[in-house]
Homo-oligomer: A and B are copies of this chain.
Amino acid sequence: MVDANAIREVFTKYTAAFSAGKPDEMAALYAADGWIEDPVGSPRHEGIEAVRKFYHLVVNGVARLELTGPVRVAGLEAAAPMRVILPGEQGTQCIDIIDVMTFNEDGKITSMRAFWSVDSIHPA
């Protein structure tokens, strides 16, 4: 079964792929029936094709994503604090996010819920 270090590694690959502008690499971290709820409370993107489309919309190689603290792993679930850094003509903005993920025994993401809202956005 996947262990805590393998789950932490998924978060590392996830943030690296986002920052590198590689949506297909992000989707490859998901199980076939994986789903995304981003932000929490919005309609879910269910299944690997919907996941891939979502990342093709939001990953652009300009915004960066970085962990801001340790990944907390509990069995096949985990949560980690992170921030998106968005360079822009009006100055750089940050979004504080916590991603909560579940995993299958192959270490693939089965769900991702992103905790943030407009009031999580602030100047860098």
Cβ-based interface call for A85 (8 A):
no
The residue that A115 contacts in the complex, of B41, B77, B120, with Cβ under 8 A, is: B77
Cβ-based interface call for A40 (8 A):
yes
Total copies of the chain: 2
Interface string of A73-113 (1 = CB under 8 A from B): 11101111100000000000000111010000000000000
Cβ-based interface call for A60 (8 A):
no
Q: Is the CB of A40 within 8 A of B75?
A: yes
Q: Is the CB of B77 within 8 A of A41?
A: yes
> Whose C-beta in chain B lies nearest to the C-beta of A122?
B70
Number of interface residues of A (CB under 8 A): 25
Distance of A98 Cα from B120 Cα, bound (Å): 17
Q: Is the CB of A116 within 8 A of B74?
A: yes
Kindly provide the distance from the CB of A38 to the nearest chain B CB, expressed in whole angstroms.
Answer: 10
Kindly provide the distance from the CB of A116 to the nearest chain B CB, expressed in whole angstroms.
Answer: 5
